[in-house]
Chains A and B, each alone.
Chain A
Amino acid sequence: MRTTVYVPRDAAALSNGAEAVAAAIAAEATKRDLPIRIIRNGTRGLNWLEPLVEVATAQGRHAYGPVTPKDVESLFNSDFLAAGTHPLHLGPTEEISYLKSQQRLTFTRVGVIDPVSLEDYQAHDGYAGLRRALEMAPTQIVQAVTDSGLRGRGGAAFPTGIKWKTVHDQSAAQKYVTCNADEGDSGTFADRMLMEGDPFMLIEGMTIAGIAVGATRGFIYLRAEYPHAHRALNEAIAAAYEAGYLGRDVLSSGKTFDLEVRLGAGAYICGEETSMLESLEGKRGEVRVRPPLPAIKGLFGQPTIVNNVISLASVPVILHKGAEFYKNFGVGKSRGTIPLQLAGNIKRGGLYERAFGMTLRELLYDFGGGSATGRPIRAVQVGGPLGAYIPESQFDTAIDYEALSGIGALLGHGGVVAFDDTADMAKMARYAMEFCAVESCGKCTPCRIGSTRGVELMDRILANVDRERNLQLIDELCETMLHGSLCGLGGMTPFPVQSAMKYFPEDFRRSVQ
């Protein structure tokens, strides 16, 4: 009998040498004449253990990691194919505490299945949500999503069901479902992990969305920096067409849903929904003035759903297990689970999906294990480059939309970037302005000009040129950008800048070497 060995094809695992590990395992098995089957799965999201190799045994899957090609011979010598003892042996995968303490609803299959095998997807509850949806009236589907309490996971946290209802209620010859997969926030990789590790789930979610609102065409707007996700999505879409899950007659329901991937071209602003729509239309990614909302006048002027990858991928489980099931996770107005991404200077970085409500401190220390450098964590930035810097004194804040917004921060797409006590927060404030200057679409003045002036001011402050006056000036500039910008890029760049100034004032008043 052939033993199944799992070696991830996820980009993060590959970035740590998974390809060479897979090749070494195959070669060693051939040399020893041992029949094995290697499945290239997604990642479990335990990044510090990648490449994480798993072996399917009669007692379940056992994990070994981080494996390098050099370890492969000794793994075979230790009979790892039968879960033998080895210094890299981590025991049964599901028992690893980082994984065991999670509540995976959206990432339940990621790292478990062969991402591009439709058979494997179906064997793990795949397409149960769509089948259920096809038995329901479109209004019932929309109602289920509304009742689940799902809020947009891209960052804005707008109730998904309300967006869907608006599109549903429009009458138009053509409506669209678009997926915002322009995951540009530093510290975030949940979309990438999901698209590489369980692409069918996104496809299923988009198909359900199309059927719910009467849209026959969907686009995934994927950032160009994700070539591995591009490959996985295209493989999965081809398989879904082949099996009748996409196309003119979805599962013989008479409903049509066509889906394709469109690539972005390295512009952070295209993660803003109206800019993304412009880009999908083949134009410069300049933001549109709202209203009209995309739900009323979106892609090519037609009613359009714009949802993040995780939002759409949360839909199949809501339909399959019911709105109540999903809603029972979470706290207050933050229902369901949130895939948090632990990044930056952290010992155990990776993906951590759990119901809303644990504190930052629990996440950083209980699961993240503290900083990678072993030094105290001085600050975290939550929610990407437009999120505030949070000081250690606020680490007991609960991770939910309202609690974070209560301290002037935001959850955004769930990225948490840790910095140790060597970080220079004034330099990070300068970087926030620099990033805004590089990525501004140029349509509105506060963002386009303000960010460049902001970099100049920060340079003067760092060089101790007329420091007090320039500190006051940058504060005023931030207020102008905050209130005068057309979208969140210019409007939120002040958050990291002002929070750094507020909580780490000493960094802005250092003597110049």
Chain B
Amino acid sequence: MNTTPARPELLDAHTREQIDLALAQYQSQPGPLLQVLHAVQHRLRYIPDAAIPIIATALNLSRAEVHGVVTFYHYFRRHPPGEHIVQICQAESCKAMRGDELNAHAKQRLKVSFHQTTADGQFTLEPVYCLGNCANSPALMIDTELHGRVDAEKFDALIAAKSAAKEHD
């Protein structure tokens, strides 16, 4: 699915700078790779493949090691996400409160499956395994905003509010 060559020289100046800043911030820490990757993703919203050789060289690791870490963790993204990331909890507590119905509704409303982005680039839909809001199941998180007791109606209202905020910009 990913055909972009991992060649640092193809990165634009801004992206390259953000990667260098992330490295400068954490390079001297013990065991810094996860922190560097978090910082890159925080700055760029994803981790470009071309960042991998840069990070590997800076931390004296092999490309395979960095690639291995990026792909091990669900949280790290190798492609830019939509404007908002909608994470719906899949775990038992939410299932006990008809979380599967919420999944189906969300997919239908946004016209995407999990790990996909809506056609207008507004929302990326992701599954997540527990948000720690289990006494308010089913739960979801939009970016870093947590919501509980979400039914179809509340889901639509949350999505509408985000879409309206965009139009207002």
Contacts and interface: CB of A to CB of B under 8 A. Distances in A.
B is a partner of A: yes
Contacts of B146: 11-12, 14-15, 228
B31 A47 contact: no
Contact of A345 (B75, B96, B129, B139): B96
Interface string A324-361: 00000000000000000111111001110000000000
B74 interface: yes
Contact of B136 (A227, A263, A349): A349
B11 interface: no
A184 B37 CA distance: 21
B38 interface: yes
Contacts of B5: none
Interface stretch (A76-84, A203-211, A280-288): A280-288
A341 B32 contact: no
A218 to B, nearest CB: 13
B136 A12 contact: yes
Contact of A417 (B30, B34, B69, B92): B92
Contacts of A372: 97
B56 interface: no
Given A16-B148, A381-B92, A417-B134, A439 B129 contact: yes
A417 B75 contact: no
B107 interface: no
10 contacts: A48-B135, A185-B130, A186-B92, A224-B38, A265-B37, A282-B35, A344-B93, A344-B97, A344-B137, A385-B91
Interface stretch (A187-195, A240-248, A464-472, A503-511): A187-195
A419 B96 contact: yes
Interface in B95-110: 95-97
A273 interface: no
Interface string A354-386: 000000000000000000100000000100010
B51 to A, nearest CB: 15
B31 A280 contact: yes
B69 A345 contact: no
Nearest to A269: B72
Q: Say which size band chain B's interface belongs to.
A: 35 or more
Interface in B111-164: 128-137, 139, 141, 144-149
B93 A262 contact: no
Contacts of B141: 225
Contact of A225 (B69, B93, B132): B132
Contacts of A50: 136
Interface string A1-39: 000000000011011100000000000000000000000
A52 to B, nearest CB: 13
Interface in A252-309: 262-268, 279-285, 300
Nearest to A225: B131
A420 B97 CA distance: 9
Contacts of A431: 92, 95
A267 B129 CA distance: 9
Top 3 A-B pairs, shortest CB-CB distance: A349-B135, A186-B91, A282-B33
A385 B92 contact: yes
Contacts of A350: 135
Interface of A: 11-12, 14-16, 47-48, 50, 183-189, 191-192, 224-228, 262-268, 279-285, 300, 341-346, 349-351, 372, 381, 385, 415, 417-420, 423, 428, 431, 435, 438-439, 441
A284 B135 contact: no
Given A16-B136, A189-B135, A282 B130 contact: no
A487 B147 CA distance: 33
Contacts of A263: 34-35, 38
Contact of B137 (A228, A262, A343): A343
Contacts of B31: 280-283, 300
A224 B148 contact: no
B33 A283 contact: yes
**Which of B68, B69, B76, B141 neighbours the largest number of chain A CB atoms within 10 Å of its CB?**
B69
B116 to A, nearest CB: 17
A350 B30 CA distance: 38
B161 to A, nearest CB: 12
A225 B130 contact: yes
Given A226-B132, A265-B74, 19 more contacts: A15-B139, A16-B148, A186-B93, A186-B134, A225-B130, A228-B146, A265-B37, A265-B73, A265-B76, A267-B74, A280-B31, A282-B35, A283-B33, A343-B93, A350-B135, A351-B135, A372-B97, A385-B92, A417-B92
A188 B132 contact: yes
A184 to B, nearest CB: 6
A264 B73 CA distance: 9
B136 A15 contact: yes
A356 B74 CA distance: 36
Nearest to B140: A15
Contact of A12 (B69, B74, B133, B145): B133
Nearest to A11: B146
Interface in B2-54: 30-35, 37-38
Contacts of B135: 12, 47-48, 189, 341-343, 346, 349-351
